[in-house]
Structure 1
Amino acid sequence: MASAGETAIAGTEKPKLGWRSLWNISFGFFGIQIGFALQNANMSRIFQTLGTEIDNLPALWVAAPLTGLLVQPIIGHMSDRTWLGRLGRRRPYFLTGAILAALALFLMPLAPVLLFAAVMLWVLDASLNISMEPFRAFVGDMLRKDQHSAGYAVQTAFIGAGAVFGSIFPWLLEQAGVSNVAPPGQIPDTVRIAFWFGGAALFLSVLWTVLSTREYSPDEMTGFDRAVVEAGASETGLAGRGYGQSVGWIAAGVLIVFAVQELGLEKEVYLLGGLLAAYGVASAAAIALARRGRGANMLSSIVGDFSGMPPLMKRLALVQFFSWSALFIMWINTTPIVTRNFFGAANAASPLYQEGANWVNVLFAVYNGVAAVAALALLPLLSARLGQARTHIVGLLCGAAGFASFFLFENPILLLVSEIGVGIAWASILAMPYAILASSLPQRKLGIYMGLFNVFVVVPQLLVATVMGSIMKRFFPDEPIWTMAFAAGMLLLAAAAMLRVTGGEAERR
């Protein structure tokens, strides 16, 4: 339970929490998002500074979504089953991830070679995911259903605020006189200091949430479960399933591997085929274990819950797939787009490149700042009038317009206008799907379902990281700005998919 001192009685609805409690529950996300913002805005810059070519950026970024794909369902499953006394079940993971992420942020800007930077990106992203995934479930744990929209809105506001600090800090350091240039192959002092500051801020903000909140005990959560209808709860029944779907996943993976060879696609696409085949093997193993009466294990639980997702979750998963495809395209390509198309600098050693890269930090700060304001002011207003699902459609369309507007401007200052649309979409993507979902899932499985839902945040990032490089090299060499057209198209598809979520549970608050 949160610091405001509310008490809970098993068998009843959760008590309504005040704004102080909502603040404490989500404040840790402020620091987590500082870490993500520094990563998103600067990793392409670091990779290019250490010598990689623009066509190889997606391959280097692939470590981030791959670690999320593996870590989030596992942490979700484990946090549902953890109880460490006063630390609770979600907070041990907040704290562990924060310590590891802070260490990675300290070491990242000291990278002497490209391989070290790539390894640190893997460590950083894994650590951030260890902290982030339980935070999603934490809001659902602590709040009653009629507060889910408010809870995720506050969380989104902290995400936006943290990202503003993380994105703009290198630029602020430059304005304060810190050097933004460095010898070839070395990372500027603005980036180094920003990463070190971010690591400290991440750890302290997560520690605030750990110390200022107290979770409901397992007995209290059981009582709350008895008080509500568990929409979407179902038995997975793995033991009664055949191996047909498992074989299908393996076959799809093998076909992709052959396609890479026959069509001459980038070697990173092998990873996509390997992941599909690996899931098929894991699925078959889980079914085999269940048939032998050994279904009470992590693998069977994750596979069973993934294949037995509630219908509403499946529809929202498609929306997430398209939405996060667009976001990952933006994170990978905004730096090369702005430096090349708006500052006329393709060489990472050029002062103009570093100036353009710092402007990207400002742009990212703007869209995150807009998201923080929109989460608390615009989204609640629209949600009250239009419902959660239609509000999300509006947000996605704003984002599509923002990406498309990159083709309308020549002055980089005007890109601030583009970031307004992107910021509204970002706020909606972070709040609306989770608010809709948390109200429809069983409390006892909230962690695993949130982890599985985030698979559809990660898979599109892997797809972009493995496929986008091949597309750009073949059709738009040396023209990264065309990736913004793909991003706009992805958000339009997400808005169309969201039409299937209008009505029913998505409209109830």
Structure 2
Amino acid sequence: MHTSTNKPQLSFWQLWNMSFGFFGIQFGFALQNTNTSRIFSTLGANTDDLALFWLAPPITGLLVQPIIGYLSDNTWHAFWGRRRPFFFIGALLASIAMFLMPNSSMLWMAVAVLWMMDSAINISMEPFRAFVGDKLNPSQQTAGFAMQTFFIGCGGVIASLLPTIFTDYLGVSNVPVNGAIPDTVRYAFYFGGAVFALAVMWTVFTSKEIPPADLEKFRQERKDNQGIGKALTEILGGFTKMPKTMVQLALVQFFTWVALFAMWVYTTPSITDTVFHTSDAQSAAYQEGGNWVGIMFAVYGGISALAAFILPVLAAKTSRKFVHMLCLIIGGVSLISIFAITSKQMLLLPMVGVGIAWASVLTMPYAILAGALPANRMGYFMGLFNFFVVIPQIVAGVVLGAMLKHWFNDQSVKVLMLGGACMILAGLLTMLVKDDAATK
């Protein structure tokens, strides 16, 4: 029997199976990222308020991921293992929420369902990061995270294109009727919910987990760690126990995710304004612009899927820090360049650069971090690391709306430029990170 201290080298198809669930998870995130601003605007939200309504994803991540990481570290079942129970439960809840989201008839309903949907996606997603640390030797961990990135890219491409596919090839109406969400968006969420559940179940039932090295000791420690008070103490106390590498990566993550949040929230109002020349969310032109944003996001997802296999090779020849720095700078310059583009076809070009950055964001920080974490606390620290993904989004959600109104004269594209500058800064800060595994 293999134990956590004796990890076998996994084959390509074993890596495939254990990562395939991310294909479904990204259906949820891509549909959310591409269509949420569009849904909110269609239901009557003001552009200045979009960032506040978008606070649901980072806040649920802040609350859910550390708790799920802690719980999964302290879970073991002979059949279900450690992480897979959470994959399973999160997938079921997320699929239900994805069926509810496009049927929201009022703005407050859409915001409430977004909270539910993002909580469920986080339950399913968080243990996937720890899954790599659990099952793979350090020599395979970068490849494991790259495989996840590949499926994230593939899922993102298809999910982002779904409204356009339904419009152009299946003849589904893309026009809101009586203020309701267009049928193209509704059917996209229905299809995505089904794919989410099926993909995650594939990983649940085709992958096995390695039992703790000392099962009796694990059970005793789990018994000692029971209780909400103990869990909260452990979770909050982890900030004082973070490895130095994790602290350094936190600063990189802060500016990276401010940039990504700005992109997800403001690309739709930016493009509909500057290229499709409308701010009326009930108009056919606005909904056409929403579909085009889906195509743009599909491009960056597709590029990230391809880059996922190239980045580990480049990292082996240079360093993971250098590759991450370079990718973030490319992504930042690409976001800034959107300001100067007025042709919808040319908007696809900066998405290539964003896709390169996205591939690295999903791979390199986690690969660097995994080499600095204790094996028995992998899920907990990966969950804690998510604080540095969601806190910058919360900050951005609170301040970007006011900046848009008072600093940028309601020109959403300038928020994208600010995001690009933040991503460039994150790239430069990467060179201050110590990569323990690379040093060893």
Give 1:455 shift: 0.7
Higher Rg of the two aligned structures: 1
1:343 maps to 2:276: yes
1:394 to 290, 313, 326: 326
Structure 1: gaps (5+ residues) = 1-6, 224-293
Task: Please state how far the C-alpha of 1:99 moved relative to its aligned partner.
Answer: 0.3
Instruction: Please state if 1:454 is matched with 2:386.
Output: yes
What residue in structure 1 maps to residue 335 of structure 2? 403
Alpha-carbon contact 2:315-2:323 (below 8 Å) kept? yes
Query: Does structure 1 residue 323 correspond to structure 2 residue 266?
Result: no
Alignment of 1:72-87 (within 5 A): 72-87=65-80
CA distance in 1, matches of 2:389, 2:200: 22
Distance in 2 between the 1:383 and 1:161 partners? Answer: 22
Superposition map of 1:80-479 within 5 A = 80-176=73-169, 177-219=171-213, 297-376=230-309, 378-479=310-411
1:145 to partner: Cα distance? 0.4
CA shift, 1:295, in A, is 11
Alpha-carbon shift at residue 409 of structure 1 (Å): 1.5
Are the equivalent residues in 2 in contact too, given 1:389–1:506 (CA < 8 A)? Answer: no
- Asked if residue 507 in structure 1 is aligned to residue 438 in structure 2, the reply is yes
Kept in 1, the 8 Å contact 2:336–2:418? The answer is no
SS at match of 1:87: coil
Equivalent residues of 2:334, 2:351 under 8 A apart = yes
Paired letter, 1:214: K
Distance 1:410 1:84, change over 3 A: same
Change (3 A) 1:221 1:397: farther
Q: Equivalent residue for 1:258?
A: none
| Per-residue deviation, 1:300 | 1.0
Q: Secondary structure at the match of 2:180?
A: coil
CA contact (8 A) 2:62 2:387 kept: yes
Q: Which residue of 2 aligns with 1:40?
A: 33
What is the distance in 2 between the residues matched to 1:487 and 1:480? 11
CA contact (8 A) 2:3 2:211 kept: no
Cα distance in 2 between the residues matched to 1:220 and 1:202: 34
Q: Which amino acid aligns with 1:81?
A: N
Q: Is the 8 A contact 1:49 1:184 kept in 2?
A: no
- SS of alignment partner, residue 382 of structure 1: helix
The alpha carbon displacement at 1:181 in A equals 0.6
- CA distance in structure 2 between the aligned counterparts of 1:46 and 1:200, rounded to whole angstroms: 20
Amino acid at match of 1:197: F
Per-residue Cα deviation, 1:216-248 (whole angstroms, up to 9, x for no partner): 11236999xxxxxxxxxxxxxxxxxxxxxxxxx
Output the CA distance in 1 between the equivalents of 2:323 and 2:120.
32
How far, CA to CA, are the matches of 2:79 and 2:326 in structure 1?
A: 42
Q: CA RMSD in A?
A: 1.8
Question: Does the residue aligned with 2:163 lie in a helix, a strand or coil?
Answer: helix
Displacement of 1:155 after TM fit?
0.4
SS of alignment partner, residue 219 of structure 1 = coil
Is 1:56 the counterpart of 2:54 in the alignment?
Answer: no
Aligned pair in 2 of structure 1 residues 221, 197: CA closer, same or farther (>3 Å)? farther
Amino acid in structure 2 at the alignment position of 1:351: A
- Provide the C-alpha distance between the structure 2 equivalents of 1:481 and 1:454, rounded to a whole number of angstroms: 27
Spell out the pairing of 1:472-491 with structure 2 (5 A cutoff).
Answer: 472-491=404-423
Cα shift readout 1:161-191 (whole Å, capped 9, x = no counterpart): 1111110111111112111112241111100
TM-score (norm 1): 0.82
Q: Is the 8 A contact 1:295 1:301 kept in 2?
A: no
User: Contact (CA 8 Å) 1:8, 1:220: kept in 2 or not?
Assistant: no
Unaligned runs of 5+ in 2: 218-226
Give me the whole-angstrom Cα distance separating, in 2, the residues matched to 1:193 and 1:94: 24
How many Å separate the matches in 2 of 1:13 and 1:382? 28
In the alignment, the residues of structure 2 paired with residue 306 and residue 429 of structure 1 have an alpha-carbon distance, to the nearest angstrom, of: 22
Q: Report if aligned partners of 1:27, 1:209 keep a CA contact under 8 Å in 2.
A: yes
Q: Give the ranges of 4+ consecutive aligned residues of structure 1 lying more than 4 Å apart after TM superposition.
A: 220-223
Distance 1:379 1:363, change over 3 A: same
Q: Deviations over 1:84-127 (max 9, x none)?
A: 22101100000110000000000111111111111000000000
Provide the rounded CA distance (Å) in 2 between the counterparts of 1:221 and 1:449: 21
CA displacement 1:329-363 (0-9 Å, x = unmatched) = 00000000010111101000111101111000000
| CA distance in structure 1 between the partners assigned to 2:363 and 2:103 by the alignment | 35
CA distance in 2, matches of 1:433, 1:182: 41
The number of equivalent residue pairs is 431
1:238-294 alpha-carbon deviations (Å, 9 max, x no partner): xxxxxxxxxxxxxxxxxxxxxxxxxxxxxxxxxxxxxxxxxxxxxxxxxxxxxxxx9
What is aligned with 1:21?
14
Distance 2:402 2:90 in 1: 34
Q: Percent identity?
A: 49
**Which secondary structure state, in structure 2, belongs to the residue aligned with residue 85 of structure 1?**
coil
Task: Determine the structure 2 residue equivalent to 1:242.
Answer: none
**2:337 & 2:51 partners in 1: Cα distance?**
23
